[in-house]
């Protein structure tokens, strides 16, 4: 394998490695300027079985596995990779199982994909991360099973489950429920969703869904079912709790001159950017931030200080892959001592602009908060 690498390729790889580490890492004389919008004792870890990324510590394109955020509804099940198998049932010609070695023998891809929890928001935006995921395209596996023509809905079940109270008009049924999410046929059979067994070149940890998880590039993280145990193919819509009820957004929309209340599912990531940290070195101040979206190419990221004009930020070429999160930097010159507000906004090539909080006033639920996020710093 190594022998096959030409000199030109190895130079290119060395350059790529240099650019991977050069841009966001702290230089020797660079110090972090604390945010004054966070309490001094702010704890970015929300709960014992959760972990948020401390976005002030982002120091490269890929989030290390021990910093990658983790959140889930039913704790972290332990699945033995030795006895693991992925079951495919329902509307397929050949219902069957795949062991991990069988999956690894199929087509293997390594793809940079960044994602955030749909509940990611202020104050730190820590439920976000960027990984290089290794796996087999979902379509490759579904093609082997032979999807029937009437199949409309592909349901992905995790190994995690819990007893839930299911309420029907006030009558409660207790049921043991698996975590489940579905994709429509067009998405499930598109080339992009991946059945992934590795993050940044290492096997998934238990937190990340070992041994196998779904990764749907460009979608909110809830689609990325961890501890994937089975795929059930059906004709009817899947209406499980985390599909039909917990992951919904309610918005007022102007339709035919009146406000209609529209409930939508959590699918593609909304266009977002945020300032992750501000640092100071001999040349002045530097702002580092993150942009995330559904993979639509970006037009620009801009930064505004106090009431000043929007100024262009520079996108990091090491994060240019379609579904990678995008890191950006802005050199802040002429900063006066005192407290300042700094905010970013991203625009995609279709002309869509990241909204302000006021623009989202008609959104009545807290998921999908992609509003511009002003941060405060005090300069000495």
Ligand X SMILES: Nc1nc2c(c(=O)[nH]1)N[C@H]1C(S)=C(S)[C@@H](COP(=O)(O)O)O[C@H]1N2
What's the closest the beta carbon of residue 117 comes to Mo ion, in angstroms? 3
Structure tokens at 160: 């995690």
Regarding 71 and contact with ligand X (CB under 6 A), the answer is: yes
Regarding 70 and contact with ligand X (CB under 6 A), the answer is: yes
Question: Are the C-beta atoms of 332 and 277 separated by less than 8 Å?
Answer: no
User: Which of left, alpha, beta for 46 (phi over 0: left; psi -120 to 50: alpha)?
Assistant: alpha
Of the candidates 372, 346, 350, 348, the one whose C-alpha atom is nearest the C-alpha of residue 359 is 372
User: Which of left, alpha, beta for 284 (phi over 0: left; psi -120 to 50: alpha)?
Assistant: left
Regarding 368 and contact with ligand X (CB under 6 A), the answer is: no
**Closer CB to ligand X, residue 62 or residue 227?**
227
Cα 219 from Cα 247, distance rounded (Å): 13
In degrees, to the nearest 5, what angle opens at C-alpha 165 toward C-alphas 161 and 171? 150
Regarding 266 and contact with ligand X (CB under 6 A), the answer is: no
Instruction: Give the one entry of ligand X, Mo ion, none that residue 114 binds, where binding means its C-beta sits below a cut-off of 5 to 8 angstroms depending on kind.
Output: none
Instruction: Give the one entry of Mo ion, ligand X, none that residue 328 binds, where binding means its C-beta sits below a cut-off of 5 to 8 angstroms depending on kind.
Output: none
Piece in contact with ligand X (CB under 6 A), picked from 59-67, 81-89, 224-232, 282-290: 224-232
Instruction: Give the one entry of Mo ion, ligand X, none that residue 219 binds, where binding means its C-beta sits below a cut-off of 5 to 8 angstroms depending on kind.
Output: none
Of the candidates 193, 204, 245, the one whose C-alpha atom is nearest the C-alpha of residue 226 is 204
What's the closest the beta carbon of residue 159 comes to ligand X, in angstroms? 7
What's the closest the beta carbon of residue 154 comes to Mo ion, in angstroms? 20
Q: What is the maximal distance between C-alpha atoms in the chain?
A: 70
What's the closest the beta carbon of residue 79 comes to ligand X, in angstroms? 10
Cα 113 from Cα 225, distance rounded (Å): 15
Exactly one of 73, 87, 304, 352 binds ligand X (CB under 6 A); that residue is 73
Tell me which residues touch Mo ion (CB under 5 A). Answer: 117, 221-222
Classify residue 241 by its DSSP letter: I
**Closer CB to ligand X, residue 70 or residue 125?**
70
Exactly one of 55, 224, 270, 273 binds ligand X (CB under 6 A); that residue is 224
Binding site for ligand X (CB under 6 A): 68-74, 117, 158, 160, 179, 207-208, 221-222, 224-227
């Amino acid at each position: 394998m190594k022998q096959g690498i030409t000199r030109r390729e190895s130079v290119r790889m060395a350059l790529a490695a240099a650019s991977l580490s050069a841009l966001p890492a702290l230089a020797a004389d660079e110090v972090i300027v604390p945010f004054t919008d966070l309490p001094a004792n702010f704890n970015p870890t929300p709960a014992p079985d959760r972990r948020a990324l401390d976005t002030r510590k982002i120091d490269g394109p890929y989030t290390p596995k021990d910093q990658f955020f983790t959140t889930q509804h039913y704790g972290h099940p332990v699945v033995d990779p030795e006895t693991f198998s992925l079951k495919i049932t329902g509307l397929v010609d050949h219902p069957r199982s795949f062991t991990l070695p069988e999956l690894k023998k199929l087509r293997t891809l390594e793809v940079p994909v960044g994602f955030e929890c749909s509940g990611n928001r202020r104050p730190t935006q820590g439920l976000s991360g960027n990984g290089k995921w290794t796996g087999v395209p979902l379509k490759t596996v579904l093609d082997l099973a032979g999807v029937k023509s009437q199949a409309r809905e592909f349901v992905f079940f995790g190994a995690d489950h819990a007893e839930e109270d299911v309420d029907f008009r006030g009558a409660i049924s207790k049921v043991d429920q698996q975590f489940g999410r579905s994709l429509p046929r067009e998405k499930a059979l598109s080339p992009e969703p991946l059945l992934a067994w590795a993050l940044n070149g290492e096997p998934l940890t238990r937190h990340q869904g070992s041994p196998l998880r779904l990764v749907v590039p460009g979608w909110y993280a809830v689609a990325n079912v961890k501890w994937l145990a089975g795929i059930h193919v059906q004709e009817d819509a899947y209406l499980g709790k985390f599909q039909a009820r917990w992951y919904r957004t309610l918005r007022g929309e102007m339709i035919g001159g009146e406000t209609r209340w529209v409930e939508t599912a959590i699918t593609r990531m909304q266009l977002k950017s945020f300032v992750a940290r501000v640092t100071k070195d001999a040349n002045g101040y530097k702002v580092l931030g993150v942009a995330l979206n559904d993979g639509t190419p970006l037009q620009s990221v801009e930064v505004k200080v106090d009431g000043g004009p929007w100024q262009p930020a520079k996108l990091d070429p090491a994060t240019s892959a379609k579904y990678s999160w995008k890191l950006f930097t802005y050199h802040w010159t002429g900063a006066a001592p005192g407290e300042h507000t700094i905010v970013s906004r991203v625009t995609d090539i279709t002309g869509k602009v990241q909204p302000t909080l006021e623009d989202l006033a008609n959104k009545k639920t807290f998921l999908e908060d992609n509003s511009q996020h002003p941060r405060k710093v005090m300069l000495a």
